[in-house]
Structure 1
Amino acid sequence: MRISCFRNTSQLSLLKRWVNTLLPHRTSSSSYSFGIAESQLTHLRGIFSLRDSLLKSADFESKMEVVKVALKLESAALEKVAVTAGDKSFTYAEVLRSAFNISSILENKDGSNGHVAEGEESAEKQVVEAEAGKKADGPRIGIMAKPCAEFVAAMWAAWLNGAVAVPLALSYPEAELMHVMTDADISVVVATEEYREILEKVVEKSPGAKLYILPPVVNTHGNEITDTQSLDKLLVEVKNRSLTLSGEEAALIIYTSGTTGRPKGVVHTQAGLGAQVRMLSEAWGYTADDRFLHCLPLHHVHGLINSLLAPLYAGATIDLLPKFSTSGVWQRWRSSYPVSGEVAATPITVFTGVPTIYVRLLQGYETMDAETQKASADAARQLRLMMCGSSALPQPVMDQWESLTGHRLLERYGMTEFGMGLTNPLHGERRPGFVGKPFPGIEIRVDDSDSDVKGVGELLMKSPSMFREYWRQPKVTADNFTEDGYFRTGDTVTIEDGYVKILGRTSVDIIKVGGFKLSALEIEAVLLEHPAIAECAVLGLPDKDYGELMCVVIVPPEAKAAEAAATSEPVLTLKELHKWGADKMAPYKLPQKLLIWESMPRNAMGKVNKKELKKTLLESTS
Structure 2
Amino acid sequence: MNNSDTSAILSTEDHSELMQNIANKTSSQFFHLPPVANKSLEKSRDEHSQNGKIDADGILLEKFERSSQDPALILYTSGTTGKPKGVVHTHGSIIAQVQSLTKAWEYTSADQFLHCLPLHHVHGLFNGLLAPLYAGSTVEFLPKFSVGGIWKRWRESYPTEGSKADDATTVFTGVPTMYARLIQGYRAMDPELQAVSASAARNLRLMMCGSSALPQPVMQEWEAITGHRLLERYGMTEFVMALSNPLKGERKAGTVGKPLPGVQVKILADEEHGNEINEAGELCVKSPSLFKEYWKLPEVTKESFTEEGFFKTGDAVTTDKDGYYIILGRTSADIIKAGGYKLSALEIESVIIEHPAVSECCVLGLPHKEYGEIVGAIIVPEADVKRKRDEESKPALSIEELSTWAKDKLAPYKIPTRLILWDSLPRNAMGKVSKKELKKILASEQ
TM-score computed with the length of structure 1 as normaliser: 0.52
Q: Percent identity?
A: 52
Q: Which letter does structure 2 place at the counterpart of 1:295?
A: C
Contact 1:491 1:503 in 2 (8 A): yes
Q: Which runs of 4+ in 1 moved over 4 A?
A: 220-228, 238-241, 542-547, 549-553, 585-600
Shift of 1:592: 8.4
Q: Which SS does the other structure have where 1:219 is aligned?
A: coil
Aligned equivalents of 1:396, 1:482: Cα separation in 2: 37
Would the alpha carbon gap of residues 488 and 190 (structure 1) be closer, same or farther in structure 2, given more than 3 Å must change?
Answer: same
After superposition, the C-alpha distances for 1:340-371 in whole angstroms (9 at most, x for unaligned) are 64321232111111000000000000110111
Corresponding residue for residue 548 of structure 1: 362
Shift of 1:215: 2.5
Indicate which of 488, 493, 501 corresponds to 2:312. 488
After superposition, the C-alpha distances for 1:550-607 in whole angstroms (9 at most, x for unaligned) are 9999xxxxxxxxxxxxxxxxxxxx99xx9xxx9xx9997897899778985xxxxxxx
Indicate which of 286, 299, 307 corresponds to 2:120. 299
Aligned equivalents of 1:274, 1:223: Cα separation in 2: 24
Q: Verify: 1:188 aligned to 2:2, yes or no.
A: no
Corresponding residue for residue 455 of structure 1: 279
Contact 1:391 1:547 in 2 (8 A): no
Corresponding residue for residue 174 of structure 2: 353
Aligned equivalents of 1:407, 1:217: Cα separation in 2: 37
Contact 1:193 1:213 in 2 (8 A): yes
Contact 2:328 2:335 in 1 (8 A): no
Q: Which SS does the other structure have where 1:183 is aligned?
A: coil
Higher strand proportion: 2
Contact 2:80 2:433 in 1 (8 A): no
Aligned equivalents of 1:397, 1:223: Cα separation in 2: 39
Q: Verify: 1:282 aligned to 2:103, yes or no.
A: yes
After superposition, the C-alpha distances for 1:490-533 in whole angstroms (9 at most, x for unaligned) are 1111112210001111012899xxxxxxxxxxxxxxxxxxxxxx
Aligned equivalents of 1:397, 1:240: Cα separation in 2: 40
Aligned equivalents of 1:346, 1:586: Cα separation in 2: 28
Q: Which letter does structure 1 place at the counterpart of 2:332?
A: S
Corresponding residue for residue 378 of structure 1: 199
Would the alpha carbon gap of residues 587 and 433 (structure 1) be closer, same or farther in structure 2, given more than 3 Å must change?
Answer: closer
Aligned equivalents of 2:2, 2:121: Cα separation in 1: 20
Q: Verify: 1:202 aligned to 2:22, yes or no.
A: yes
Q: Which letter does structure 1 place at the counterpart of 2:124?
A: G
Q: Which SS does the other structure have where 2:219 is aligned?
A: helix
After superposition, the C-alpha distances for 1:422-455 in whole angstroms (9 at most, x for unaligned) are 0000011111100000001101111114344552
For the pair shown, which has the larger CA radius of gyration, 1 or 2?
1
Corresponding residue for residue 62 of structure 1: none
Q: Which letter does structure 2 place at the counterpart of 1:455?
A: E
Indicate which of 37, 41, 52 corresponds to 1:218. 37
After superposition, the C-alpha distances for 1:329-350 in whole angstroms (9 at most, x for unaligned) are 1011111111264321232111
Aligned equivalents of 2:93, 2:213: Cα separation in 1: 26
Corresponding residue for residue 68 of structure 2: 247
Indicate which of 457, 469, 479 corresponds to 2:303. 479
Map 1:164-563 onto structure 2 (within 5 A). Answer: 181-207=1-27, 209-220=28-39, 242=63, 245-339=66-160, 341-452=162-273, 453=275, 455-496=279-320, 497-508=322-333, 548=362
Shift of 1:484: 0.8
RMSD of aligned residue pairs (Cα, Å) = 3.7
- Gaps (5+ residues) in structure 2? 48-55, 337-351, 368-421
Would the alpha carbon gap of residues 547 and 302 (structure 1) be closer, same or farther in structure 2, given more than 3 Å must change?
Answer: farther
Higher helix proportion: 1
Aligned residues between the structures: 355
Shift of 1:219: 3.0
Contact 1:552 1:595 in 2 (8 A): no
Q: Which letter does structure 2 place at the counterpart of 1:393?
A: L
Would the alpha carbon gap of residues 589 and 192 (structure 1) be closer, same or farther in structure 2, given more than 3 Å must change?
Answer: farther
Aligned equivalents of 2:311, 2:42: Cα separation in 1: 50
TM-score computed with the length of structure 2 as normaliser: 0.71
Aligned equivalents of 1:240, 1:426: Cα separation in 2: 26
